[in-house]
């Protein structure tokens, strides 16, 4: 059986900077929610379960999801 590994938001941002698209499940200790996240040079574009895309600066994204851990479901290069 494979262990599920969750990474903190800062590690997710590093992963995004080297890939075009990441599908990740947000886990805040209470619930899980899938996010489709892409990096567009200076902005992070985050589409959550409500299908609404939010454009974040890197610092705002890290600040908002400061204590959040993510399970990486898929990476697209």
pLDDT tens string 28-59: 667 778 999 999 888 999 999 889 999 999 99
pLDDT attached to residue 25: 93
* Residues above pLDDT 70, as percent of the chain: 94
- C-beta neighbour count of 29 within 10 angstroms: 7
Inter-residue contact 72 to 9 (CB < 8 Å): no
C-alpha closest to that of 77 among 12, 18, 14:
18
Judged against a pLDDT cut of 60, whether residue 1 lies above it is answered with no
Mean pLDDT of 48-75: 93
């Amino acid at each position: 059986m494979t262990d599920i590994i969750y990474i903190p938001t800062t590690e997710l941002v590093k992963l995004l900077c080297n890939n075009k698209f990441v599908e990740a499940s947000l886990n805040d200790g209470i619930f899980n929610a899938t996010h489709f996240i892409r990096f567009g040079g200076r902005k992070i574009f985050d589409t959550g379960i409500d299908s609404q895309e939010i454009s974040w600066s890197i610092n705002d994204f890290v600040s908002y999801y400061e204590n959040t851990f993510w399970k990486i479901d898929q990476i697209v290069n």
